[in-house]
Structure 1
Amino acid sequence: MHAIVVTTPGGSDALVYTEVPDPVPGPGEVLVDVAAIGVNYTDVYHREGRYPLQAPFVVGSEGAGTVSAVGPDVTGVAVGDRVGWVGVIGSYAEKAVIPAAKAIPLPDDLSFESAAAVLLQGLTAHYLTHSVHAVQPGDDVLVHAAAGGMGLLLTQMTKLRGGRVIGTTSTDEKRKLAREAGADDVIPYEGFADAVRELTGGRGVRVVYDGVGAATFDGSLASLGLRGMMALYGAASGPVPPFDPQRLNQGGSLFLTRPTLAHYTATREELLARAEDVLGWVESGALNVHISRRYPLAEARQAHDDLEGRRTTGKLLLIP
């Protein structure tokens, strides 16, 4: 089979399209013929070595396809099942082995592309808006990169829960997409903390969902109201430097968390409960999945270049 392999971490040229042996499922695992693969910033971090993996490795942690074989001791998943997954390294490939415990059953009328486009970011948006800070009706919420794949889903889920969304974007085209997703106000990054204070009558927001990191961190803290929550779920612009926790006191007894999806899908029951919500909303039309671009698997380098160059909106997919 063909896969995208990283031998030495680095830039996008570290992604090598090559032929590798077909994987074989072991105990508790299933083999999937991959139909669609999600491209995420986590993949960039793995490729760069920011999140180190044992090299060589096949990149990617999200996808969807059809089970073609099952290993020993597998129950509840059978050959022919349509499944999706998140958090399983080795997804940039024509075939992938995943733990049966991480196989998410897909509704028959949900396309593989929609599943691969929504699972990782949809489950992340779910735990952020339902668990890290459970948005309440009337809450003012700041969503950074509101026209990106995560931002569009965060905006929609915040609106489903009755919150008011202030989104940041960098272009007029992205501003339009954020408004179409339900953002109440869309502002540029420059001076966003002052704009947030003005839009909230000086109160600040209840929560900031920040996947940008270093470039927005200070402004995000300054945007929070009394006892506000800073949810730093990513670092697209680079990691946040160490800082004095006393700033949280000075800002109004603020909360800061650096969550990750694995800790909010720690059991299969929690994984399936969140997935049922997200996939159900996609099926019903309550949640719109915006697929920006599709690339052949062999063009993974271009997908990473476009993602890092901020030339995209919505979700990027690789198609084997």
Structure 2
Amino acid sequence: MSAVVRMYKPGGPEVLQYESEEVAEPGTGQIRIRQQAIGVNFVDTYFRSGAFPLPTLPAVIGGEGAGVVDAVGAGVDSISVGDRVGYYFSPGAYAETRLLPATDAIPLPHDLGSEEAASLLANGLTAWGRLHRVHAVKPGEIVVVTGATGGVGSLLAPWAQHLGATVITPVASDERVEAAQALGLKHVVVAGTGQLAKEVSAAGAGADVVYDLVGRATFDEAVAALRDGGTLDLIGSASGAPDIDAAALERRRIRVTRSSTGDHLPDRATLLQASEDLFRTWREGVFGTRPIRTYPLSKIVQAHQALEAGFSEAAIVLLPDKT
């Protein structure tokens, strides 16, 4: 028997039920993974709450994990039993053992642990898509990243800086400045103080791109920092959806983009290339030492409570219970 977390109705963390199941042999094109670590992302709470309706219930949510292949189905010739693999968005992650389409599996390098992989892939590949597909960041450009201490932002902002951009990051308070600077970011300002406009003006004629993960709280200030003809990439809205004046943006020729990570990884070749770019950048130390907070899979309710409460900056990772 294998542990699994199911939900039978949408709601708060308490709807997540820790159970057991028999996991079938993999079918054609599938592999079976004995998971070593499972990523917990904020989007999981949207599926749990019903904000993003699930097609059927009961359901197993979660989309990110890493582990060891213990069985391979027919038609799979690029993955073998014993291989370590991860994945970034394949529903059904909250389980000790699971089936996975072989095309979703990402071979993991030997120097990347499973806990690190389960905290890195989804956010890292999201950052890759923004930096290489939405707006290809070039040396000397001015980049504004809101929410730079969050999951995606903590990878996207230092990565853009590594690519040679001047990265300016507005944070919510003086207390958040230190957290952003700990990521190696050089231009950290407090939102709502006028510092963002001054910092952007000192760097050049306006930001070439704003990667917005916060939404309403910083939106107007971030848009004002954009140069005419720049790019506004709407990634998240942690503070609520902003009021967007489409006509004003159009007059300034600002390109507004919204997209999902999958839009930038249309085939397996691109997925593998993006993963290699991510692993190389991680190996070069660009992301620093990222804290990870672990919970046993059986404590999934507490993990979701901690995630929604924002108890720490650490990534949350589930580990199968020891037996």
Structure 1-normalised TM-score?
0.92
In the aligned structure 1, how far is the partner of 2:30 from the partner of 2:289? 29
Aligned residue for 1:253? 253
Q: How does 1:170-319 map to 2 (within 5 A)?
A: 170=172, 172=174, 174-189=176-191, 191=192, 194-201=194-201, 203-240=205-242, 243-250=244-251, 252-319=252-319
Q: Distance in 2 between matches of 1:21 and 1:51?
A: 28
Q: Please name the residue that 1:129 is paired with.
A: 131
Structure 1 residue matching 2:109: 3-state secondary structure: coil
1:39-54 to structure 2, matched below 5 A, reads 39-53=40-54, 54=56
Q: For the residues of structure 2 that align with 1:123 and 1:280, how far apart are their CA atoms? A: 13
Percent identity, aligned pairs only? 39
Contact 2:37/2:115 (<8 A) preserved: yes
Q: Which whole-Å CA distance do the structure 1 matches of 2:237 and 2:25 have between them?
A: 34
The answer to which of 286-295 and 56-65 deviates more is 286-295
**Letter paired with 2:226:** L
Q: Rate the CA distance shift 1:176–1:161 in 2: closer, same or farther, 3 A.
A: same
Whether 1:27 aligns to 2:38 is: no
Name the counterpart of 2:5. Answer: 4
Does the CA contact (< 8 Å) of 1:118 and 1:289 recur in 2? no
| Stretch deviating more after TM superposition (137-146 or 25-34) | 137-146
Whether the aligned pair in 2 keeps the contact of 1:149 and 1:290 (CA below 8 Å) is no
Measured against aligned partners, the alpha-carbon deviations of 1:269-297 in whole angstroms (never above 9, x if no partner) come to: 00000000111222343433512411111
The one-letter code sitting in structure 2 at the alignment partner of 1:64 is A
The alpha-carbon distance between structure 1 residues 62 and 21, as it changes in their structure 2 partners (threshold 3 A), is same
Q: Name 1:153's counterpart in structure 2.
A: 155
Q: Is the 8 A contact 1:164 1:183 kept in 2?
A: no
Superposition TM-score, scaled by structure 2 size: 0.91
Deviates more, 1:194-203 or 1:25-34: 194-203
Determine helix, strand or coil for the equivalent of 1:117.
Answer: helix
Q: 1:51 to 1:170 in 2, by over 3 A?
A: same
Q: Deviations over 1:31-76 (max 9, x none)?
A: 1001011111221121122222122111110010000111121120
d(CA) in 2 for partners of 1:273 and 1:172?
Answer: 38
Cα displacement (A) at 1:141: 1.4
Contact conserved, 1:152 with 1:314, CA < 8 A, in 2?
Answer: no
Q: Is the 2:183–2:287 contact (alpha carbons within 8 Å) kept by the matching residues of 1?
A: no
After TM superposition, the structure 1 = structure 2 runs for residues 83-102 of structure 1, keeping only pairs within 5 Å, are: 83-102=85-104
* Residues 152-197 of structure 1 deviation map (CA, whole Å, 9 limit, x = unaligned): 11122111110112123335554223112222222233x16x3321
Q: Distance in 1 between matches of 2:170 and 2:16?
A: 31
8 Å Cα contact 1:129-1:135 kept in structure 2: yes
| Deviation per residue, 1:177-234 (Å, 9 max, x gap) | 3112222222233x16x33211112843211112223443333323322112111112
The one-letter code matched in structure 2 to 1:76 is S
Give me the whole-angstrom Cα distance separating, in 1, the residues matched to 2:180 and 2:91. 31
Task: Give the match for residue 16 of structure 1.
Answer: 17
> In the alignment, is the contact (CA less than 8 A) between 2:159 and 2:286 conserved in 1?
no
C-alpha separation between the residues in 2 aligned to 1:239 and 1:55? 28
Contact 2:44/2:62, CA 8 A, preserved across alignment: yes
Contact 1:63 1:116 in 2 (8 A): yes
Which structure 1 residue ranges, 5 or more long, are not aligned? none
Distance 1:229 1:91, change over 3 A: same
How many residues align? The count is: 316
Rounded Cα–Cα distance in structure 1 between residues aligned with 2:312 and 2:287: 20
- For 2:117 and 2:237, the matched residues in 1 are separated by 24
Letter matched to residue 28 of structure 1: G
